[in-house]
Amino acid sequence: MNKANRLLQKGIISGIILVAALSFFSCTSNRNLVYLRNIDSRDTVMFPKQNVEPLLQIGEVLYVRIVSINKEINDLFNLDNNTNLSNASDASISLKGFTINSEGYIRLPVIDTVLVNGLTITDAEKRIQERVDTYFKNATVILKSLNTKISVLGEVNRPGSFVVAKPEMNILEALAMAGDVNQFGDKRNVTIIRSAGGNNISYTIDLTDKNILKSKDFYLYPSDVVIVNPLSMKAFRMTSPTFSLFFAGLTALVGTVSLLYNIYK
């Protein structure tokens, strides 16, 4: 009987240890759950903005509008003034915008080519305005980028591409548009892929660190791809329904062992 008791005791202890281990793996560290976790809520801290205006790149599509009191000038440059570009398809935008060619130029009616690659929207607008001024008087240039989408992939609740409706979009706003990071996402391991100078570059940021607020990496560029990487323990975790059923079965097993122990002790 003593041997049986010892076996029952070992069974109970093993069950408890197994339950504790599964509970451990099912929980995510607080460090992975909280954004900007090292901010002290009792203090007001200033984080200087380090955002840099994006530079225009080869392949980017631009919306150029030249406004004048001269109807002929307006008709010449603005064939699609009534088009709602915010709802236009990618193919439609490519046809109605001006694409920066492989040499970094856009080709405009009458004015011909203008080098804009590597400039900000503001500087490109000024350069085009200078060219327009040599041909026409009292004409104003309006320039916008039509590459306004960012993509959010990986461990988020609603992955996809989203239109950026504001000149400045930060990583937290992008994640909010994608329904936030899900339970398997690692906020300390978020990758951003960006096209620059004809190359793709990538870097990783830690969204649990408050210092990201004063980093230029906090802000996204049009056409950026954000990838929320999974937690390293994701492979060991179970989905909630499966875990609940398994946990319930294991609890019943431990209860049965405990009952048998009380009967035969």
Q: Is the pLDDT of residue 199 over 50?
A: yes
Q: Is the pLDDT of residue 215 over 70?
A: yes
DSSP string spanning 154-172? ESBSS-EEEE--SS-EEHH
The tokens for 103 are 């040499």
Of 2-6, 51-55, 195-199, the range with the lowest mean pLDDT is 2-6
Among 59, 8, 35, which Cα is nearest to 212's? 35
The tokens for 26 are 């099912």
The pLDDT score that the predictor gives to residue 179 is 95
Class of domain 61-145: alpha beta
Superfamily name and number for 30-52+149-230: Outer membrane lipoprotein wza domain like (3.10.560.10)
The tokens for 184 are 């398997």
Mean pLDDT of the chain: 77
Helices 2-26 & 240-264, crossing angle to 10 degrees?
Answer: 160
Cα torsion at 21, 25, 28, 29 (round to 10°)?
60
Average pLDDT of span 16-30: 54
Indicate the residue type of 37: R
pTM of the model: 0.67
Q: Is the pLDDT of residue 82 over 50?
A: no
Q: Is the pLDDT of residue 147 over 50?
A: yes
pLDDT in tens, 35-71: 877 776 666 767 777 656 788 888 888 989 888 887 7
The pLDDT score that the predictor gives to residue 125 is 95
Give long-range contacts, CB 8 A cutoff, 24+ apart: 244-247. 246/22, 247/19, 247/22
Rounded to an integer, what distance in angstroms lies between the CA atom of residue 168 and that of residue 148?
A: 11
Q: Is the pLDDT of residue 1 over 90?
A: no
